[in-house]
């Protein structure tokens, strides 16, 4: 974190807390207490009314006359922000997100009620590796710098790409980079897990006029097919979460009929195969036949 950004963060925290110790600041920004002391001196020189408090519970504060109106954001507003940020922190593993959460927590205060909503994600081992790639692209997007990387497509073909990065997009369980590819001279969406050796260039680029519309546009949408399947009670909740209660119909003891849309390709087969013997596709017949062949191909590998 650059010094200017750290100073701004210190001011934001002091605006919402009475006294913060130098140890707490040092741990938050991963710097020494001496660095925090120099930061406080810099703030004073900039006419920010920071003062020090001695003693066991001592630290630094800012004059009340300088503090902002706390009614700008309600406790509920801040709790909602914290809930969203806590989810982002788990899937992104970003030091920047952690520091932002600390700032908001300082604004909420110690007497605020705990959030009524909690988000939890499994901490896959590959996520820390993925976060390094995300950090490169995030920095490049903010600084408007070109990036280059090796990209492996779904057929295993590796190509070198140079691109103008515009947006990082998290969908379902995967991260994507939306960018203008200079090799293809068009906007492309790259799956982050297929990217190797990302590099941010010193060369900057000018934002294209249609970049906002392209970044907001939805990605590739596969052709969908309506499928009916008998499912066991054990997986009913998963279908309700994805397709809603209206997709489920009671069909007798220990089974339900689910009606839902799936991609008419191998991705749809992969999704349905994950339910194993707890699901049986019954309609349409063409999809049943195609799915049967898919299952037989899997079985053939284990003969």
Pick the more confident residue, 126 or 70. Answer: 126
Give me the torsion for CA of 7, 61, 99, 118, rounded to 10°.
Answer: -160
For position 90, what pLDDT does the model report? 59
- The ranges of the chain annotated as CATH 3.30.70 are 224-300
User: Among candidates 113, 88, 108, which has minimal Cα distance to 98?
Assistant: 88
Assign 4 to helix, strand or coil: helix
For position 146, what pLDDT does the model report? 96
This prediction has a pTM of: 0.57
The CATH number corresponding to 3-68 among 1.10.10.10, 3.40.50.10260, 2.40.37.20, 1.10.3720.10 equals 1.10.10.10
Distance CA 200, CA 140 (A): 6
pLDDT over 90 percentage in the chain: 30
For position 111, what pLDDT does the model report? 46
Whether the predicted pLDDT of 198 surpasses 50: yes
Pick the more confident residue, 264 or 146. Answer: 146
For position 30, what pLDDT does the model report? 86
Assign 290 to helix, strand or coil: helix
- The ranges of the chain annotated as CATH 1.10.10.10 are 3-68
- The ranges of the chain annotated as CATH 2.30.30 are 126-216
Pick the more confident residue, 50 or 280. Answer: 280
The architecture (CATH level 2) of 126-216 comes to Roll (2.30)
Bond prior to 284 in cis (omega within 30° of 0): yes
Sorting pLDDT into bands at 50, 70 and 90, what band is 286? very high
The CATH number corresponding to 224-300 among 2.60.40, 3.30.70, 3.40.50, 1.10.3470 equals 3.30.70
Region 66-80: what's the mean pLDDT?
59
Whether the predicted pLDDT of 77 surpasses 70: no
Distance CA 112, CA 272 (A): 44
pLDDT, one tens digit per residue, over 3-61 is: 777 888 888 788 777 788 888 888 888 888 888 888 888 888 877 888 888 877 788 88
Pick the more confident residue, 183 or 64. Answer: 183
Distance CA 298, CA 296 (A): 5
Query: Do 13 and 103 meet the contact criterion of CB atoms below 8 Å apart?
Result: yes
Region 224-247: what's the mean pLDDT?
91
């Amino acid at each position: 974190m650059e010094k200017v950004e750290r100073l701004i963060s210190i001011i934001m925290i002091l605006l919402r807390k009475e006294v913060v110790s130098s140890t707490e600041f040092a741990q938050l920004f991963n710097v020494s207490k001496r660095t925090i002391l120099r930061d406080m001196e810099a703030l004073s020189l900039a006419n920010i009314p920071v003062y020090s408090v001695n003693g066991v519970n001592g630290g630094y504060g800012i004059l009340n006359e300088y503090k902002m109106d706390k009614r700008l954001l309600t406790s509920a507003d801040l709790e909602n922000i914290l809930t969203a940020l806590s989810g982002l922190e788990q899937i992104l593993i970003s030091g920047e997100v952690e520091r932002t959460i600390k700032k908001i927590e300082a604004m909420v205060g110690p007497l605020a009620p705990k959030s009524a909503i909690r988000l939890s994600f499994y901490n896959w081992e590959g996520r820390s590796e993925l976060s390094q790639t995300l950090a490169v692209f995030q920095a490049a997007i903010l600084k408007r710098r070109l990036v280059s990387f090796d990209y492996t497509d779904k057929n295993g073909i590796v190509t070198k790409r140079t691109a103008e990065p515009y947006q990082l997009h998290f969908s379902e369980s995967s991260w994507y980079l939306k960018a203008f590819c200079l090799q293809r001279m068009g906007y492309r969406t790259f799956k982050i897990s297929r990217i190797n050796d990302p590099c941010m260039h010193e060369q900057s680029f000018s934002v294209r006029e249609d970049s906002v519309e392209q970044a907001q546009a939805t990605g590739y949408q596969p052709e969908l097919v309506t499928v009916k399947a008998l499912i066991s009670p054990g997986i009913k909740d998963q279908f309700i979460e994805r397709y809603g209660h209206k997709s489920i119909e009671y069909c007798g003891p220990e089974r339900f009929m689910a009606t839902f849309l799936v991609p008419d390709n191998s991705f749809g087969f992969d999704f349905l195969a994950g339910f194993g013997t707890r699901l049986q596709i019954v309609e349409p017949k063409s999809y049943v036949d195609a799915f049967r062949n898919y299952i037989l191909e899997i079985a053939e590998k284990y003969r």
